Structure 1
Amino acid sequence: MSSTAELSNYLDQARQWRSQPGYLSESGSNFESVHVLLGRFLADRHSPDPLPDQSLLEENPQFQWGQGSPLEKVIHSQAELEQLMLQPRLFREAIAIIEPWEHVGYNPLGEHVRASANVAFIAQKVADCDSLLFPLWSSGILNLEQLIPIISAGIAVVVEGGDPSVRDATTFADGKASLEDLHRFTEQLLLSRSPTSAPAIFICLGHQLAAQAHIRLIQQAVDQVLGMNTLERDQNGKALSALKTVCRQIQQVGESLPVEKKTGHRIADTWHHPEFAVGPNEHKEVGHRQLLHYQSPDYLTSAIPQALITAHEVTADEFEGVIDTAIEYEHELNIAMFHSDEVNEEAMLLANWAYRLLHDTVIPHRAVLAGSSLSWLMQLPYAIEILCSTALDNGEVVTECSATCIIYKDFETKQIRRSFTCQFHPELLADLRVIGRRQPPSYQQLKQDDGARLFARLLYAGMQE
């Protein structure tokens, strides 16, 4: 099929999009109804389904994207993105799902797992919340100046997992979005969190892309500040001098902080190493794992500076990260894992410390920075909290950084906003199969599933900010 014919076909599909959000509700859905229904779902594990008892697979028996409602809204091209821009209610009352790759891997049955369908099923079944799919692996990176505001204007952005490794750019070669493309997208998404934007949930590969983006953004900030001789309207150079001081401090730690496994194997010597943020895991994790509270490393036996450990302990004490609280609420959380790479805790401890330093330094000089080339620094997160870890059956911790809370603090109102990342897949059930290849779970089954509840809790909390 020619590109012209493909475009015509895509636009024909776009004209068949449902014009009213919602699929199960008699009068459609909206932000408030979605929020109320998520709260109802989380309130207990036994209440009946408040939505009509209608199958989500009636029009789309295989529950595949682009094959009928409620999965008809797939943005394959720039032209379809522009078509979506003309219908603001469709993207404002929906979850935007970003696919960096066509599937997240293969389950024990040998099936490739397109987990994004499960995200859409849970959101629709629990709260009648529509989903929009952006398959970047097949569309390429669309115009970021249009894409980021569109997806950030909805209920939430979910960046899915993927089979390639962020440690190897060549594994993305068969897709239309390169690893560098995905880095640029993730950086812009991290910088887009504002009082009027949607929270982001980064899953598995998305979790790893976010980790790399944190380090890249901090490095860009350090390089730009240290490369400047003057700053516009900076009387006596106080703002630039203060920023240079903390950036030299961040640079010094970044260039001397190693990443080491518990076995003593050194992964990286400095933050310039390509595996500083994400490295190979000691064991591939596939299947259910219990989430455990994150435990700080001992600075007396670790190569991690005490300042980084202390800064994280302060962050953990200061903020509630939803996932860590859910571990307390639910007593025990068992979630599907599906990965062989992991985010390094050293990198996230450095990122949290560096973000806090930069934020605190900006505060007294924010009026000067707001009109300068460094204004983007005010879009950086305020802090990062590592929320949980996973361990083998023998108790050995395998993935120290299994989830993070990305914290933003408004400079004027001091209000807090959060986004989340998780190495695990809360949208997958224990069999690691996608909806359409397995019997769709009922509302009651989802209420009993730890992953579905945690996913709903992240949406519910994020919608309140």
Structure 2
Amino acid sequence: MSTATPTINQLVTPNNWRLRPGYSSEGDSDFESMHILIGQFLADRHSPDPLPDTSLLIENAKFQWGYGKPLEKVINSQSDLEFLMKHPCLFRNAIAIIEPWEHVGQNPLGEDVRASLNVAYIAQKIADCDSILFPVWSSGLFDPDVVVPLITSGLAVVVEGGDPSVRDASTFEGGKCSLNDLHCLVEKLLISRSPTSALALFICLGHQLAAQGHINLIKRAVQQVLSLEYLPRDRNGKMLKALKRVCQQIETVGSSLKITKRNGHIIAEGWDHPEFAVGPNEHKEVGERRLHHYQSPDGDALDIPQELISTHEITADEYEGVIDTAIEYEREVNIAMFHSDEVNEEAILFANWAYRLLHDVIIPHRSILAGSRLAWLLKLPDAIEILCSTTIDDEIVTECSATCIIYKDFESKQIRRSFTCQFHPELLSDLRTVGTCEPPTYARLKIDDGARLFARLLYEGMQE
């Protein structure tokens, strides 16, 4: 089946958009009401739906983007974006969904799976939370300096999956948003988490784009620091000297670190290799998988420096990553997988170590850095934690199935988090899109591990 976007003649224009947030509620939806409703959804696995019993498919029987309410808000053009910018109550009370490709792949029934529809359905069904779609594969990428501040002022940003491969730019041909465009957008998102910004959730292809984004940001930081001769107001060059010492250490490890599969095959050596951050998975994973706690690797067997492993173990002990806690306290967590590439464990261990080194060396010099050309370094994450893995017949297949990106404010010490996951928490075990099958009831969503995990991430993110 095709999940193509409706034609221009079929699309609902901004003139027909709802200008007040919410669809099912008797009043307007807002932050407080949605936060309470998500909390109620998570409180147990059996309580009834607190919202009016309104079908989300009455005005949009096919439940497709652009056909009608509640999926009318699709940003297809600059004029759509400008209309949205004039109505802040819409984007401040909604989830922004970045759609890199028209679908995330085909399920066992041969259906194209447009997973963004499931994100919108779950959010609307459990909390009457609207969604705004940015289908960049068909619209092209709008100016990230405009789009990112806009979408990060809402409730959450979801970067969805997609069928192309981060390892091959040619697989994005035919779309209007190139792999390089997506890297620019994701890197901008990664350094936009602040006290006034929304949680970002990167799913599947988004998870892989985020991994490459970490490496790109770290390389950019190292290159800029090492290219400077001096910084104004840096008395005796003390700050720059300390930064250069750390960046030289990061460059040495990054340029020599090997990416080794569990069968001993080396697929990449050094951070300049195109498969350093993301490589082919040993097995294509399609279907339901159980999540397991991440276990530190054998550094000697995989030739991973022990300092990278030890630093990650400290990170895991210091911070709480929500997904790992869910694995601990929810009986067991089974989730939908849909991928053939994977984020390399070594790359994330390296990125966590590099971020922590940079953060620690910046702390005593942050006031000088804040007024310099390197001020953007203050926006980098403090750490990344690998949260879980998946297995097939007790064999680990995807070591890095999810990560928590940790931001620690230099002044308040407040912690903020964003998340990436290789799996699809928005898809049920049948891997079908809402609209191609009977839409899940509130009761079914309430017992589904993926829907609960998606809601948990929203709930936690809204508190930060």
Asked whether the two chains share a fold, i.e. TM above 0.5, the reply is yes
| Residues 12 and 66, structure 2, Cα contact 8 Å, conserved in 1 | no
Hey, what does 1:316 align to over in structure 2?
316
Report the alpha carbon displacement of residue 251 of structure 1 after superposing the two structures with TM: 0.3
**Aligned amino acid, residue 137 of structure 1:** W
Alignment partners' CA distance in 2, 1:412 and 1:389: 34
Secondary structure of the 1:280 match is: strand
Alignment partners' CA distance in 2, 1:187 and 1:238: 29
Hey, what does 1:341 align to over in structure 2?
341
Secondary structure of the 2:102 match is: coil
Hey, what does 1:38 align to over in structure 2?
38
| Residues 14 and 80, structure 1, Cα contact 8 Å, conserved in 2 | yes
Secondary structure of the 2:34 match is: helix
Q: Is 1:447 the counterpart of 2:441 in the alignment?
A: no
Secondary structure of the 2:20 match is: coil
| Residues 78 and 143, structure 1, Cα contact 8 Å, conserved in 2 | no
Q: Return closer, same or farther for 1:225/1:110 CA change in 2, 3 Å cut-off.
A: same
Alignment partners' CA distance in 2, 1:422 and 1:187: 17
Hey, what does 1:226 align to over in structure 2?
226
Hey, what does 2:105 align to over in structure 1?
105
Secondary structure of the 1:76 match is: coil
Hey, what does 1:3 align to over in structure 2?
none
Hey, what does 2:289 align to over in structure 1?
289
Secondary structure of the 1:281 match is: strand
| Residues 11 and 67, structure 2, Cα contact 8 Å, conserved in 1 | no
| Residues 10 and 80, structure 1, Cα contact 8 Å, conserved in 2 | no
Report the alpha carbon displacement of residue 9 of structure 1 after superposing the two structures with TM: 6.7
| Residues 259 and 276, structure 2, Cα contact 8 Å, conserved in 1 | yes
Hey, what does 1:130 align to over in structure 2?
130
Hey, what does 1:148 align to over in structure 2?
148
Secondary structure of the 1:283 match is: strand
Report the alpha carbon displacement of residue 10 of structure 1 after superposing the two structures with TM: 9.9
Report the alpha carbon displacement of residue 7 of structure 1 after superposing the two structures with TM: 12
Give structure 2 stretches of 5+ with no counterpart. 1-5
Hey, what does 1:458 align to over in structure 2?
457
**Aligned amino acid, residue 142 of structure 2:** L
Identity across the alignment (%):
71
**Aligned amino acid, residue 221 of structure 2:** A
Secondary structure of the 1:290 match is: strand
Moved more, 293-302 or 102-111: 293-302
Hey, what does 2:72 align to over in structure 1?
72
Q: Is 1:205 the counterpart of 2:197 in the alignment?
A: no
Alignment partners' CA distance in 2, 1:78 and 1:219: 33
Alignment partners' CA distance in 2, 1:461 and 1:164: 30
**Aligned amino acid, residue 110 of structure 2:** G
Hey, what does 2:435 align to over in structure 1?
436
Alignment partners' CA distance in 2, 1:7 and 1:47: 41
Report the alpha carbon displacement of residue 12 of structure 1 after superposing the two structures with TM: 6.7
Hey, what does 1:415 align to over in structure 2?
414
State the 4+ residue runs in structure 1 displaced beyond 4 angstroms: 6-12
| Residues 402 and 422, structure 1, Cα contact 8 Å, conserved in 2 | yes
Alignment partners' CA distance in 1, 2:110 and 2:348: 34
Aligned ranges 1:5-16 → 2 under 5 Å: 13-16=13-16
Q: Is 1:236 the counterpart of 2:236 in the alignment?
A: yes
Alignment partners' CA distance in 1, 2:446 and 2:119: 15
Report the alpha carbon displacement of residue 196 of structure 1 after superposing the two structures with TM: 0.4
Report the alpha carbon displacement of residue 302 of structure 1 after superposing the two structures with TM: 2.8
**Aligned amino acid, residue 113 of structure 2:** V
**Aligned amino acid, residue 306 of structure 2:** Q
| Residues 256 and 270, structure 2, Cα contact 8 Å, conserved in 1 | yes
| Residues 291 and 390, structure 2, Cα contact 8 Å, conserved in 1 | yes
Alignment partners' CA distance in 2, 1:208 and 1:433: 22
| Residues 293 and 388, structure 2, Cα contact 8 Å, conserved in 1 | yes
Report the alpha carbon displacement of residue 255 of structure 1 after superposing the two structures with TM: 1.0
Q: Is 1:22 the counterpart of 2:39 in the alignment?
A: no
Give structure 1 stretches of 5+ with no counterpart. 1-5
Report the alpha carbon displacement of residue 82 of structure 1 after superposing the two structures with TM: 1.1
Secondary structure of the 1:339 match is: strand
Alignment partners' CA distance in 1, 2:11 and 2:260: 51
Hey, what does 2:3 align to over in structure 1?
none
Secondary structure of the 2:16 match is: coil
Alignment partners' CA distance in 2, 1:382 and 1:331: 31
Deviation track 1:137-168 (CA, whole Å, cap 9, x = no partner) reads 01111011110011000000000000000000
Alignment partners' CA distance in 1, 2:12 and 2:70: 17
Alignment partners' CA distance in 2, 1:85 and 1:239: 40
| Residues 259 and 268, structure 2, Cα contact 8 Å, conserved in 1 | yes
Hey, what does 1:378 align to over in structure 2?
378
| Residues 10 and 76, structure 1, Cα contact 8 Å, conserved in 2 | no
Q: Return closer, same or farther for 1:56/1:281 CA change in 2, 3 Å cut-off.
A: same
Query: What root-mean-square deviation, in Å, do the aligned CA atoms of Structure 1 and Structure 2 show?
Result: 1.3
Hey, what does 2:189 align to over in structure 1?
189
Hey, what does 1:405 align to over in structure 2?
404
Q: Is 1:173 the counterpart of 2:156 in the alignment?
A: no
TM-score between both structures, scaled by the size of structure 1:
0.97
Secondary structure of the 1:412 match is: coil
Report the alpha carbon displacement of residue 300 of structure 1 after superposing the two structures with TM: 3.3
